[in-house]
Structure 1
Amino acid sequence: MSDFALDEVDRGILFALQRDARNTTIDEIPSNVEVAASTVRNRISNLEEAGVIKG
């Protein structure tokens, strides 16, 4: 994993996935981190590309 700076949005996404990744949908996460669903999709993609998470 390369150096990847996590901000509050990334941490919120990771927290939601860590709690229950199998039963959490991308449409549920934005209400927890207060961003658009498209932002969540992009952030998850960035986290995967950086090796922070595996999809």
Structure 2
Amino acid sequence: MTATENGPAGCATCAELLRAAAAAERAGDFSKAVDCRVLLRRHQPQHNRTHNDPRRNGR
């Protein structure tokens, strides 16, 4: 997984959650890896609101 698959390429939150999930998997902490993926999924709708909300786009 990469940040571009799960949100805007420049999103630091997406990148950090993906990095933490990968590190947790490498360490064998699959519970933490799943927690990171859940947080990533909960975070993603913010991208759609930010990009599709006319009040935030100045339209």
TM-score (norm 2): 0.33
Greater Rg by CA = 2
Greater relative CO, 1 or 2 (CA 8 Å, sep 6+): 1
Between Structure 1 and Structure 2, the one with more helix by share is 2
